[in-house]
Structure 1
């Protein structure tokens, strides 16, 4: 197979196997062949069919995003930026998000817009938590990204009739049927000719799934050796609902059922028993997460919009919890998300030392890889997949670059991402997505949003016009 060599890169964020951590390696080479990294170091003297001049480039591992909703979230741009239900502890889950769902015609464009933004911000592996939709697998394969599909299933739907009480409509048979279909789809993903798709079990939310559905899905995931993710401890409403039903916090209840381990992922995991908004008579949730090896998928942007956040990333990390990062909402910009992780952690802790850039970069690479059960992504080391990001270290936004990864996360962001490779195939070149027509998808999505906005009052419990739900920034003349 042809060998591609990046010769004499200004800097490689290489994996130091002896120390089990990332390390800066200046003036170094990286070679890959057949989608696999063959060499990372200095003085490569092997064959090279294609040679890339590494001058002015920082080479880093592709980022691993463990929680995202590409099929729906891009539709919400400009609508959900500032609203949360006053009667439901400022969450937007129950009253507002359901009324702006993308219609079937818009879903492919939602996906293409989200994946384009993710690729441009250096994401090479994504966990896609979506309701199954036609053509899903081929659409993901088209993008050239490595994707863990997580078809969501549940026993009940939530709704509100008044904006301050959440109700549940149960259909447990439908939940079982959807779970069976999800596992069939996961098998199809693993057999997809692209070779870049794999799967994860995903009962949608802790409060919408019966105990039987949770136990059965966990057992099947364990039998298949795949990860299992659930939204839990994500709202005050949900916390109170689970304590009312079971007498345990969401984390404790999952633990009581034996569902937590090193391949379990809690989507969000904000409202623990010691959170100021949900004080409980115990103080054990953080310890349970750490002792079981459970991962928390931290997605700060969507909650920061409502004045909600984890308390705090550094505390979880010091407590021994494995953390991964996700872009739950728009913009699907992983580098922006990493910046917000750091800033919110420090403000919540009142301490700039609560966490480091090393911590957040680890969460976005090896932490996410661990959650997905992969040791061949999230690091640049011989034998790992050739998922590589080339950053323009000479970009004006990167200057000065005393510490290049800090310059990337806190200053330059996605503007400095030059090229991205997945499995050794270039999917971003010179800051442009090569596999998706991003501009066309964005234009189609803009038209689709007009349809969704026009129909939104029909889905709202109070039939309010959209300008009353999401008031415009300025009056339209």
Structure 2
């Protein structure tokens, strides 16, 4: 093992265990031995093999992204930025996203592009919610990231034949088989030689999973000591579908089955019984989430594109809900996502005090770590994994530097990130990804998208040309 010391950093976002919070520590030394942090404080006097001058640096824990779709979302860049089905409450889930899916040749490039973008924005742990694909585990390990492998499975697929009605094609046996395969993959991930992969049980969506599959998957997660995540309360269509089927809101139905707990994660959790778009006769969803210790994975960008937003992040926090963050969609930029969390919460509340930068950073670190059942990530403290981000505190966009975290989140963003370590291994150096060919993958994805666009009209219920579905910003002369 190599003992590395970051010496006399301008500031470290260190973990104060006695106060249970992050704190600014000036003149900080951070030491790590292999993959473990051994010291956070001032005036380190222990042994060392490598010393990194900390002057001009902010040292912070790696960010924890609990909801992302690396294998598909990069393909949608330039296609679904401004479209949503008007007959389906402006969601793009049912009519548009299925026709632009990456094919098998494009998936590895999607993953490499997404994970590179995540690393460059300071993410060291990511939950990859994808349908299983060949070589998935080795591809994730290649990135050098800590990855929660979250293979999705379901009992039905959704589709629309007209753009205003969503239908479901059910095959419960296939769902059970897919869950068994997902659990096997999770077991393999835990055994991967990289030592950085672990699992999560993910029935894909509340409206595409049979009740038995939901109950069984939750039981399997509990038996394995794993987190359990589901997309729920993510669209108005889904809200109405679940109330029609079960007489409960999506959150209420999950709670009625005792599926909400401190290892359960609701992907999105926007449309509660008191959301203006889905008012219901109850007023208990937010309280149910808080009382059961359930986490909400908040991903504002993908919904803001459709004019949709949570009402609001700060309100959930005040109610006692554990909040985590995810990128979900392109760009996979966690710092951009954090900035949007703050702006949308304050806009929706019409109150600049609706959410603080402290709460946002907590969600991106300890909130996500808690959701994944980890107390060894998301904080700079002795005994935690050496997942560390070095920020150029002297970058012009970080100045003035009175409050470096605010400068990072609201001004500099990923432009100020210099180096990233995962398990003590350098994976980003001077703003360049060392583990994957980001530029090559992006170039391959550019060509692959042309192929996907050629076939898109045949996947569309109305067989429309892509230019009609998603007109370009300007006409091509």
> Which category describes the TM-score, using the shorter chain as reference length?
over 0.9
Cα distance in 1 for partners of 2:398, 2:432 equals: 19
Deviation at 1:28, TM superposition (A): 1.1
Deviations 1:98-154 (A, max 9, x none): 000000000000000000000000000000000000000000000000000100000
Partners of 1:44 and 1:369 in 2: CA distance: 27
Report how far residue 401 of structure 1 moved: 1.0
SS in 2 for 1:208: coil
Alignment of 1:61-140 (within 5 A): 61-140=61-140
TM-score, structure 2 as length reference: 1.00
Question: How far apart, in 1, do the equivalents of 2:386 and 2:171 lie?
Answer: 44
Q: Which residue of 2 aligns with 1:60?
A: 60
Q: Which residue of 2 aligns with 1:379?
A: 379
Q: Distance in 2 between matches of 1:2 and 1:95?
A: 52
Deviation at 1:397, TM superposition (A): 1.1
1:393 matched residue in structure 2:
393
Shift of 1:258: 0.6
Paired residue for 2:233?
233
Q: What does 1:464-475 correspond to in 2, within 5 Å?
A: 464-475=464-475
SS across alignment from 1:13: strand
Give distance in 1, aligned partners of 2:23 and 2:352.
Answer: 22
- Aligned residue pair count: 477
1:173 and 1:2 map into 2 onto residues whose CA distance is: 51
Measured against aligned partners, the alpha-carbon deviations of 1:345-390 in whole angstroms (never above 9, x if no partner) come to 0000000001100000000000000000000000000000000000
Aligned equivalents of 2:387 and 2:196: distance in 1? Answer: 11
Gaps of 5+ in 2: none
Q: CA deviation at 1:34?
A: 1.9
Q: 2:19 aligned with 1:3, yes or no?
A: no
Does the alignment pair 1:282 with 2:269?
no
What root-mean-square deviation, in Å, do the aligned CA atoms of Structure 1 and Structure 2 show? 0.3
Structure 1 residue 476 and structure 2 residue 476: aligned?
A: yes
Alignment of 1:320-335 (within 5 A): 320-335=320-335
Aligned to 2:167: 167
What TM-score results when the alignment is normalised by the length of structure 1?
A: 1.00
The aligned residue for residue 264 of structure 2 is 264
- Tell me how far 1:170 sits from its aligned partner: 0.1
Partner of 1:13: 13
Q: Where does 1:204-243 land on structure 2 (aligned, <5 Å)?
A: 204-243=204-243
Aligned partner of 1:430 in structure 2 is 430
Distance 2:63 2:346 in 1: 22
Alpha-carbon displacement from aligned partner over 1:314-367 (angstroms, at most 9, x marks no partner)? 000000000000001000000000000000000000000011000000000000
1:278-427 map, 5 Å:
278-427=278-427
Give the equivalent residue in structure 1 for 2:462. 462
Residue 439 of structure 1 is matched in structure 2 by 439
Q: CA deviation at 1:430?
A: 0.2
CA separation in 1, counterparts of 2:2 and 2:419? 19
Q: Give, in whole Å, the separation in 1 of the partners of 2:462 and 2:130.
A: 27
Q: Deviations over 1:187-233 (max 9, x none)?
A: 00000000000000000000000000000000000000000000000
In 1, Cα distance between equivalents of 2:398 and 2:353: 23
Question: How far apart, in 1, do the equivalents of 2:311 and 2:460 lie?
Answer: 32
Match of 2:32 in 1: 32
- What CA distance in whole angstroms lies between the structure 1 residues aligned with 2:149 and 2:314? 29
Whole-angstrom distance in 1 between the partners of 2:439 and 2:468: 30
